[in-house]
């Protein structure tokens, strides 16, 4: 496997894909190097097809970029439009009063989008959370929610939106008497592969072929 990875990297295909995903996430060579235990110089050579790489290092690179190892080897041109049916949305294991689904197709390139459904009183959890340091837009489709952002509380209704840095701790609570539905849009992406792997196809869903 290592011989295959090294050969593919030297052909430039893997390096080109590493660069494409890295630049889409606005990551510098130094930032990616720090995240993977490599150096900016090594990554620069890899992206230009001048250096090979072993499997373990490439796995760390893929993890830091929020993709799977196979995403760096599959030579598939993304379709002009990728349709995701509502019944086919990959979802996190259901939590009490709260469901979160992934709308972005993998591999995620420039932006990740999620949709959340909240029963009355449902929330994203007991504690606020943060992830990366990207621009995040939160939009309320229906219902009334409270977004706790850092030390501030924002009451938002259907049609309202708010932008913030994803590094600021945040939490969402449905404060209304009816179900609520919201969308999170994050650019550049902050999730790593292990995070995205938690989103599984819904039971019984069948991918529809166009």
Only one residue has tokens 């209704």, namely 157
Which position has the higher pLDDT, 77 or 22? 22
- pLDDT, tens digit (0-9, with 9 covering 90-100), for 20-37: 889 888 889 999 999 999
Average pLDDT over residues 133-145: 97
Q: Binning pLDDT at 50, 70 and 90, where does residue 7 land?
A: very low
Rounded distance between C-alpha atoms, residue 174 and residue 19, angstroms: 40
In this prediction, residue 203 has a pLDDT band, given cuts at 50, 70 and 90, of: low
Please say whether the beta carbons of 21 and 65 come within 8 A.
Answer: yes
Query: Is pLDDT at 206 greater than 50 in this prediction?
Result: no
Cis amide prior to 188 (ω within 30 degrees): yes
Question: CATH number of the domain at 2-72, please?
Answer: 1.10.260.40
Structural domain boundaries in the chain = 2-72, 86-196
Of the chain, the percentage scoring pLDDT greater than 90 comes to: 60
Residue 207's pLDDT is what?
Answer: 41
Q: 140 — alpha (psi -120 to 50), left (phi > 0) or beta?
A: beta
CATH topology of domain 86-196: Jelly Rolls (2.60.120)
> Does the structure show a pLDDT above 70 at 6?
no
- On the question of pLDDT at 77 being above 80, the answer is no
Residue 209 has pLDDT above 80, yes or no: no
Distance CA 110, CA 200 (A): 21
Q: How far apart are CA 5 and CA 51, in angstroms?
A: 11
Contact assessment for residue 112 and residue 191, using Cβ atoms and an 8 Å cutoff: yes
Mean pLDDT across 149-164: 97
């Amino acid at each position: 496997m290592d011989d295959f990875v090294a050969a593919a990297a030297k052909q430039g295909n893997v390096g080109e894909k590493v660069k494409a995903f890295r630049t889409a996430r606005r990551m510098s060579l130094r930032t990616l190097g720090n995240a993977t235990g490599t150096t900016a110089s090594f990554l620069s050579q890899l992206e230009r097809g001048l250096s090979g790489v072993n499997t373990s290092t490439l796995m760390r690179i893929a993890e830091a970029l929020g993709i799977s190892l196979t995403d760096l080897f599959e030579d598939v041109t993304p379709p002009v439009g990728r349709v995701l049916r509502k019944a086919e949305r990959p979802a996190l294991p259901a939590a009490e009063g709260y469901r979160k689904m992934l709308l972005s197709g993998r591999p995620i390139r420039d932006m990740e989008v999620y949709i959340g459904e909240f029963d009355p009183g449902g929330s994203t959890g007991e504690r606020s959370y943060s992830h990366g340091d990207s621009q995040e837009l939160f939009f309320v489709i229906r219902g009334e929610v409270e977004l706790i952002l850092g030390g501030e509380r924002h009451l938002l209704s259907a049609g309202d939106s708010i932008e913030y840095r994803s590094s600021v701790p945040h939490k969402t609570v449905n404060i209304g008497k009816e179900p609520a539905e919201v969308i999170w849009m994050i650019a550049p992406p902050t999730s790593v592969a292990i995070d995205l792997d938690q989103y599984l196809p819904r039971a019984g869903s069948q991918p529809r072929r166009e």
